[in-house]
Amino acid sequence: MADFGPSSIASYLAVALVLFAAGVLAIGTRRNAIGVLIGIELMLNAAALQFAAYGRFRAEANDVQGQTAAVFVVVAAAAEAAVALALLFAVYRTSRDIDLEQTRELRS
């Protein structure tokens, strides 16, 4: 049986799995674009947590590459959120709705 303490990689991977599953569930069940964006952010955070955990628990020594990859994932998630929210704002200004089923294309 795996040890689920702070000194074990299994606990970090379990949290990342729960985050990723919550993100997939949010993407699959939400019609609102904000809910889908939150699901994507959860999935990206799960990936960042896994990178950091693998970097921390590497067999040879603590590896900086895992933390570096996690920082890049967080930066990409922030850029994705900024662009997506700008697009949602533009869609809302034109159609007054952010429901993904109702909004199929932008019309000027």
The answer to whether residue 108 sits within a structural domain is no
Q: For residue 60, what is the domain's CATH number?
A: 1.10.287.3510
What's the domain count of the chain?
1
What is the residue-level pLDDT of the chain in tens, covering all 108 positions? 456 666 778 888 899 999 999 999 998 887 777 788 889 899 999 999 988 888 887 767 666 777 888 888 889 888 888 888 887 777 777 667 666 556 655 455
The answer to whether residue 35 sits within a structural domain is yes
The answer to whether residue 107 sits within a structural domain is no
The answer to whether residue 106 sits within a structural domain is no
Residues 6+ apart with CB under 8 A from 40: 23, 27, 77, 80, 84
Range of the domain at 56: 9-95
CB-based contacts of 20-27 (< 8 A; 24+ apart in sequence):
20/46, 20/47
The answer to whether residue 76 sits within a structural domain is yes
With a threshold of 0.85, does the pTM exceed it?
no
The answer to whether residue 37 sits within a structural domain is yes
